Amino acid sequence: MVSPNFTNKRVFPRYRLNSDCDLMIAGKLMSGKIVDYSVEGLGMVLKDKFSPATDEIAVKVSTLGIDTKTRIAWATEMFSGTRLGIRKLGDLTGDLKNFRLSDILIGIQRLGRTGSLYIESSSGNKKVFFKQGDAIFSTTDSENERMGDMLLQMGKINQEQYQKSSELMLSTGKRHGAALVELGYITPSELIEFVKNYAEKIILDLFHLEDGSFIFRDEPLPDEDVILKLSTGSLIYRGIKTIDDIAKIKRHSPLKDSIVYFSSNPLNLFQEIKFSEEDRKVLSLVDGQRSINEILRSSPLIESETLKIIFALFNTQIIEVIDKGVINPTICVEEICDRPETEDDPVVVDKIERLHRNLDKLGHYGVLDISRDSTFEEVKRAYHKMAKEFHPDRHLSFQSESLKGKLNTLFAYINEAYRVLSLQKKTHQSRPATAPASPPDAEQVKSNQELARMRFREGRSYLKTNNYDQALVLFGQAVYLDKTVPDYHFYYGMALLKNKKVKNAEEAIHKAIKLAPENSDYIAELGHIYQELGFKTRAKNTFENALKHNPSHKRALEGLSKLFDLK
């Protein structure tokens, strides 16, 4: 397995690579070189300069076992060729020798995906079910790991009970656990506890795999009476700590002379992980000054145990290798280790309900509780505080699905606010203090326009895959960098609409129409927004305006038909 870039902030971390690849673009075979890759895409350099006529290409990378169709997310000409960002199409797939299992699990969690992760290896096939990003159950087809066999091995049932329950299971189609309860061999409460432990063990054992293929599919979940309520971080941390192969841990750990510190991303810091006293002792040695070697020498634990804890901290992304010039927020071990009890806390519940209800009014500044003239560091501190308070992992005990949904929406908006505002503040603060308050020069304008085009292309690729949160951020960045392109405002509005921010979407599309007043596509979508808001007269006038510019416009005609219930 290649060494990952431990400081990468993407949902799925990118891994460095230097490998040749073949591409088929518009029927022409071209050669290139892969420079990095992730579960979602590839970064590559083509030896020749070219302007892609299509965004879909076929890519073959023997070293990664990739031979599939992809989409060009962005392309930039360089002196020696063309730099491409490639997004893979279809399901998330790969081989565990090329991707860390922890990165896959965290990526699924951060994207909030619902579906099944299939893992096939020499030890059998396993399946982990996810609901809105959280692992809730798992199954296996390995005979030695089936529930009845494990109960037999543990002495919870005897051979005769195993045989009779198996016969009942086969004759009725019931699950083995249900058959055992019906026959009175175990109680329902014993079954619930064992099912939880059984599903958890299947996931923890995945961290022992050296090789195997995986595929994640967005699909409906089977009905389960018992589901896990464990954070992804907790599963990863405990799974890594069950590995006894220290040679494997050393192979996949960062170099021992690497200096490490706590992650600069609050998403990584405030996960629901129960740390032991030994864990805390190692955590207290992480100060942004010591290297891994120095931590190993200073630790009161034996080297193998210390190394295992460090590796678990890396896999959960709680600690990372420090890049030159990176200054992480001041963190104390207690902030990471201590977990407040929030179950049924009416103050916490009321605050979540109130913030969720007022998101549209609050906006990015309001949700972070900062002023518009705040500096980048102030934005960063505010985000750190809010992420600590509203990280979904800290509220796993909530029973209400509605409340959990509101919390997830609130947390996603907090993250969006940070991404958008931090980009704005960093761009503003990067200008010299003595710079005149005049329009940027031609080179700066050109640079911003190119960056805006890249962000817009990336946004469209995310929009096509229904990743509306990421699309919203990228379109917002495109608008910020270049306000003169109507399509940027329009697509920003469409992403806002997909994220249920109807009033904000109306404002964005208005800006697009102001720049392109005769664009019937923009006008028709504005009509649909008015229709959704219940402004029937305004919607009718807007649809008719679109039809003035294009009498056969499909979306405008659809709107009028729906408005008046025409057949």
Q: What is the pLDDT of residues 138-194, one digit of tens each?
A: 988 876 667 788 788 888 889 999 899 889 988 888 888 888 889 999 888 888 888
* Span of 107-121, 221-235, 340-354, 429-443 with lowest mean pLDDT: 429-443
Domain termination site, one of 377, 399, 429 = 429
Domain termination site, one of 318, 337, 356 = 337
Query: How much is the pLDDT for 534?
Result: 81
Q: Which residue intervals of 465-553 are DSSP H helices?
A: 468-481, 486-498, 502-515, 520-533, 536-549
Please indicate, yes or no, if residue 534 is contained in any of the structural domains: no
**Same domain for 352 and 317:** no
Q: Is the pLDDT of residue 10 over 70?
A: no
Q: Is the pLDDT of residue 6 over 50?
A: no
* Span of 1-15, 251-265, 475-489 with lowest mean pLDDT: 1-15
**Same domain for 79 and 56:** yes
Query: How much is the pLDDT for 566?
Result: 44
Q: The domain spanning residue 20 has which CATH number?
A: 2.40.10.220
Q: Is the pLDDT of residue 391 over 90?
A: no
User: Could you tell me how far CA 154 lies from the centroid of its own chain?
Assistant: 38
Query: How much is the pLDDT for 51?
Result: 62
Please indicate, yes or no, if residue 139 is contained in any of the structural domains: yes
Domain termination site, one of 290, 320, 337 = 337
304 or 340, which is more confident: 304
- Residue 441: which pLDDT band, with cuts at 50, 70 and 90? very low
**Same domain for 290 and 210:** no
- Angstrom distance (rounded) from CA 512 to CA 515: 5
Share of the chain above pLDDT 90, in %: 24
**Same domain for 417 and 325:** no
Place of tokens 């990584």: 268
Average pLDDT over residues 212-241: 86
Average pLDDT over residues 413-427: 81
Please indicate, yes or no, if residue 485 is contained in any of the structural domains: no
In DSSP notation, 305-357 reads HHHHHHHHHHHTTSEEEPPTT--PPP--HHHHH-----TT-HHHHHHHHHHHH
**Same domain for 148 and 46:** no
Please indicate, yes or no, if residue 385 is contained in any of the structural domains: yes
**Same domain for 106 and 153:** yes
Helix (H) or strand (E) holding 500: none
Q: What is the pLDDT of residues 304-319, one digit of tens each?
A: 999 999 999 999 999 9
Please indicate, yes or no, if residue 513 is contained in any of the structural domains: no
Please indicate, yes or no, if residue 289 is contained in any of the structural domains: yes
Q: What is the pLDDT of residues 244-288, one digit of tens each?
A: 999 999 999 988 899 998 887 888 888 888 899 999 999 999 988
**Same domain for 371 and 325:** no
Q: What is the mean pLDDT of the chain?
A: 83
**Same domain for 120 and 44:** no
Q: What's the domain count of the chain?
A: 4
**Same domain for 127 and 210:** yes
Strands 81-88 and 41-46: antiparallel
**Same domain for 199 and 106:** yes
Q: Which domain holds residue 277?
A: 250-337
Please indicate, yes or no, if residue 533 is contained in any of the structural domains: no
Verdict on whether the full-model pTM lies above 0.75: no
Cα angle 356, 10, 390 (rounded to 5 degrees) comes to 25
**Same domain for 369 and 316:** no
Q: The domain spanning residue 288 has which CATH number?
A: 1.10.10
**Same domain for 181 and 105:** yes
Q: What is the pLDDT of residues 463-475, one digit of tens each?
A: 888 888 778 878 8
Please indicate, yes or no, if residue 318 is contained in any of the structural domains: yes
